[in-house]
Chains A and B, each alone.
Chain A
């Protein structure tokens, strides 16, 4: 019999809150954290205020090696472990799959850098750990006692959906019975802002920060960086049932592809991005008409949103699913966007609630079913899309169980 995979725990650290209840409440009240960056007043960001990894993980000395993105990884993973309610033996057997980003905070790490000289008397002996992509995995595993199969994926904005997708397949194909999967990221530092501003990817210049993130709107002008993390316990269905675990949803399909087109821009027709969406549908044994909601990548950049709108139009045709764009609420969390968006999607599924796409005044595509007013809806299935720098594409399908 085909093994099925379900999600049995959710840990999330987002600007909308740390629990499903908080997230739904803040969606309904439109409580967002958009504000001007303290580093550049032309740039808007969506930070998480008063975050301290100690509040989640307690005191631990390895904290000194965690960049801010890795701290979100660790904090949300610990949350998922706490809520999983599994014993040490199961934890030891669990896999661990993460999507992480680079530490772009070069200026913060080396404030006096000059002539390429980064050495100074108090430079940490193992300063490199703050830049290695698998530091978060190492710290999580040690803190909670995970010893199973592990991968750290660094496929840009598609990384955490791919981490979840890879974990899903490892369980489905019988290599492991359970795995924690997700990601964390933060790119709000001075250097990170500079990086995306120079790449002309950032929203730039409007007076009202609340209006900056506007996926699929004709006047969209770039993405707004956010931060956070989310982790899930993925578990084989019978395994979950036998221990009486709470089941949040079933994961039924995953797909990924690479454009082979540009280092930054998506292939304009979304040809290869579509391949990842179709692969996910095929694995799930579903057709596009079975999908209720598309949680779009919707960055608010000119190129992504026009590509993605055309792609959705092609894949779903006349039977248009609801389209949501969660980056209009939390900004773009880079490598962790997929994980945090999945956590919000599950909160919405649980509460039969569809949040509107904020700031969508004039849609860039007229046939699509963008959610423009919040509404109640008994969501049965969601397809999540994430497309990243480097032409990384991914799609994941979850279904109510």
Chain B
């Protein structure tokens, strides 16, 4: 099962949008307008289609900003701290996220793919 293809199908279904609006670089919240209720459905769908255990907080990077604040408070290297807390994203991706924070929620389709990949390999 191609992960991107399957995630695209799930997203187009849940958000009722065309496949062509979805690529690995698409922002879920910023561009596709996904709301909390949509993310709930997304977690259920990912769980069911990929047969993985989805932790909502982890996959949707809900604690991202909290982690960054904590790293600052504890005088830790932000990138290092994030890499420990969000192990399914590459350092390169985490660097991008850190520079992208001001634009709004950073979650992209490729982050979901990375999470699914990690969970499947873990199983």
Which residues of A are interface residues toward B (Cβ below 8 A)?
59-61, 63-64, 121-126
Contact = CB atoms under 8 A, between A and B. Distances in A.
Interface in B1-48: 14-17, 37-38, 40-41, 43-45, 47-48
B41 A59 contact: no
Contact of B41 (A60, A63, A121, A124): A124
B14 A121 contact: no
20 contacts: A59-B16, A59-B17, A60-B16, A61-B14, A61-B15, A61-B17, A61-B38, A63-B16, A64-B41, A121-B48, A121-B51, A122-B45, A123-B44, A124-B44, A125-B40, A125-B41, A125-B44, A126-B37, A126-B40, A126-B41
Contacts of A126: 37, 40-41
- B interface SS class: helix
A61 B43 CA distance: 16
A138 to B, nearest CB: 11
A61 B16 contact: yes
A110 to B, nearest CB: 15
Nearest to B37: A126
Nearest to A120: B48
Contacts of A122: 44-45, 48-49
Contacts of A59: 16-17
B40 A64 contact: no
Interface in B44-68: 44-45, 47-49, 51
A64 B40 CA distance: 13
B24 to A, nearest CB: 21
Nearest to A63: B16
A125 B14 contact: no
Given A64-B41, A122-B44, A122-B45, 4 more contacts: A59-B17, A61-B17, A61-B38, A125-B40
Contacts of A124: 41, 44
A112 to B, nearest CB: 14
Contacts of B40: 125-126
A63 B38 CA distance: 12
B41 to A, nearest CB: 5
A301 to B, nearest CB: 40
Contacts of B15: 61
A63 B43 CA distance: 19
Nearest to B38: A61
B89 to A, nearest CB: 24
Q: Which of A60, A63, A123, A124 has the most CB of B within 10 A?
A: A124
B53 to A, nearest CB: 11
A28 B118 CA distance: 66
Contacts of A64: 14, 16, 41
Nearest to A129: B37
A63 B14 CA distance: 10
Contacts of A61: 14-17, 38
A73 B33 CA distance: 25
Contacts of B43: 125
Nearest to B51: A121
A64 B48 CA distance: 17
A122 B43 CA distance: 10
